[in-house]
Structure 1
Amino acid sequence: MRAQKRSFVRPQADVNSDINVTPLVDVVLVLLIIFMVLTPLMNKDLAVQLPEQTEAPAPPSRPDEKLWVVGLTPEGKLTLNDEPVDDADYVPRLKGILEARPRGQRHVFFKMADRAGYGRLVAALDGAKAAGAEELGVLTE
């Protein structure tokens, strides 16, 4: 019997664990070219015409037109032109005041203490709308 010759398959080279940089450089160069082409196109100016600011005097208020201001104290109490108002009396009283005014002049302003609850303000705004207020405003310091 003849001895068989054993042959082993040997790898041709060791495993290459280095990073192949060539595709990375290709991608970076393509991105660089894209950004170089797009950057000058992004610097477009928009023509904006701003209105000229003039000092216009406030329109004169008529002496018979009284501004109604609903206030909220830090304790959450309602006031109507600095006069305390009960929650149950707030909407009917404001409704009587607003119905005496002509349409288009039913404005109510609100001022609120910093510590008053936001929920109370929303309830006061809803009450003013239910009373017939056409415009609601908030006064700031």
Structure 2
Amino acid sequence: MSGIKKRQWVKPQTPPNSDINVTPLVDVVLVLLIIFMVITPLLEKDIEVKVPDTEVQEQNTPPPDDQLVVSLDEQGNLKINTEAMPSQEEYVNRLKKMLAAKAKDERVVFFMANDKTNYGKLIVALDGAKAAGARVLGMATEDLPQGAVVPGAEGGAAPAPEAPPAPAPAP
């Protein structure tokens, strides 16, 4: 039996190490830290937004003669400039007549709704203006100044209803 080799087992000199090797972990964390330090300043770039220029106007400047302002009160009653509208049909018919007198690209109607106005009634008024032929619809965000004249109503210009001043913006 001289041709058979016996297996020899080599016993390791040190027992197996069950501790975690933290060197690769530290290397990965440092690489991630460097990546984030390089990328973070690049992420803080501003997005360019083109904002229209603002115009400073005097508080008591009346709106232009050809401007149409539709206002809605808390109950959803409609007024074109200062003329009260008894019904939705009358509102659409009156607005149709007023817009027919204007050029197609000048058919602009502004809406000024009370904060407590039902949203659905505002949408009905907006739809009525579109049905009457308005090309551009705008929302007025501030009340008309006290004593301002709103032209365009039947019978000439009439003073606008008194409204509380708009609150000042918070700093």
TM-score tier after normalising by the smaller chain length: 0.5 to 0.7
TM-score in terms of structure 1 length: 0.65
* Aligned position for 1:72: 72
Q: Which moved more, 1:100-109 or 1:117-126?
A: 100-109
Q: Report SS of the residue matched to 2:117.
A: coil
Residue deviations 1:57-109 (CA, integer Å, cap 9, x gap): 8xxx9x8x432211111111111112221112111111111112233222211
Deviation at 1:35, TM superposition (A): 4.0
Report percent identity of matched pairs.
48
* Aligned position for 2:24: 23
Residue deviations 1:101-125 (CA, integer Å, cap 9, x gap): 2332222111000000112111111
Give the root-mean-square deviation of aligned CA atoms.
3.7
Residue deviations 1:6-49 (CA, integer Å, cap 9, x gap): xxxxxx96994x5442232121122234345x359838978x8x
- Counting matched residue pairs gives 121
TM-score in terms of structure 2 length: 0.55
Change (3 A) 1:74 1:55: closer
What pairs with 1:50-61 in structure 2 (closer than 5 Å)? none
Q: Structure 1 runs of 4+ off > 6 angstroms?
A: 43-46, 53-57
Structure 1, unmatched stretches of 5+, are 1-11
Decide which structure has the larger Cα Rg and report it.
Answer: 1
What pairs with 1:101-112 in structure 2 (closer than 5 Å)? 101-112=102-113
Does residue 92 in structure 1 map to residue 93 in structure 2? Answer: yes
Structure 2, unmatched stretches of 5+, are 1-13, 143-171
